[in-house]
Amino acid sequence: MQKTYTPVRFDEKFPLLTEHWQPRVVAEMNDYQFKIVRILGDFIWHEHAQTDETFIVMEGVLRIDFRDGAVTLKAGEMFVVPKGVEHKPFAEHEVKLLLIEPRGVLNTGESGGERTAVNDIWI
């Protein structure tokens, strides 16, 4: 019997997200997870001491603030925040993102707090 291979369709996955700042896993590759998330407004200052974090903007405009500057990303652009670099994402209007990071990484890094999402939930 032939196996069925199914692509991840972002246009079907994003509507399933009902809250902002709550990343959900759509795929894994080795120990890395591909997470989608809707964001709006300001996040918290945080860092990931053990890993880089990749932001790919699917829709909207994202600004990532750093203590010494910022980078602005539009749909179709990506940026890798190096491990240990404190950063704070911001979206004036809703942004749809694809994040790539190792399994088990918390969205708030070591900062914790009320914005910490339950980790490793698949959608």
Residues 32-71 have pLDDT tens digits of: 999 999 999 999 899 999 999 999 999 999 999 999 999 9
Strand partners, 97: 37, 57
Over the range 56-74, which residues count as b (16 or more CB within 10 Å of their CB) and which as e? bbbbbebebbeeeeeeebe
- What pLDDT score was predicted for residue 1? 87
The residue whose two tokens read 């998330």 is 37
Does the pLDDT at position 111 exceed 90? no
At residue 16, the pLDDT reads 96
| pTM given for the model | 0.90
Mean pLDDT of 8-30: 95
Percent of the chain with pLDDT over 90: 78
pLDDT of 113 higher than 70: no
Location of structure tokens 């004036």 = 92
Closest among 44, 119, 46 to 83, alpha carbons compared = 46
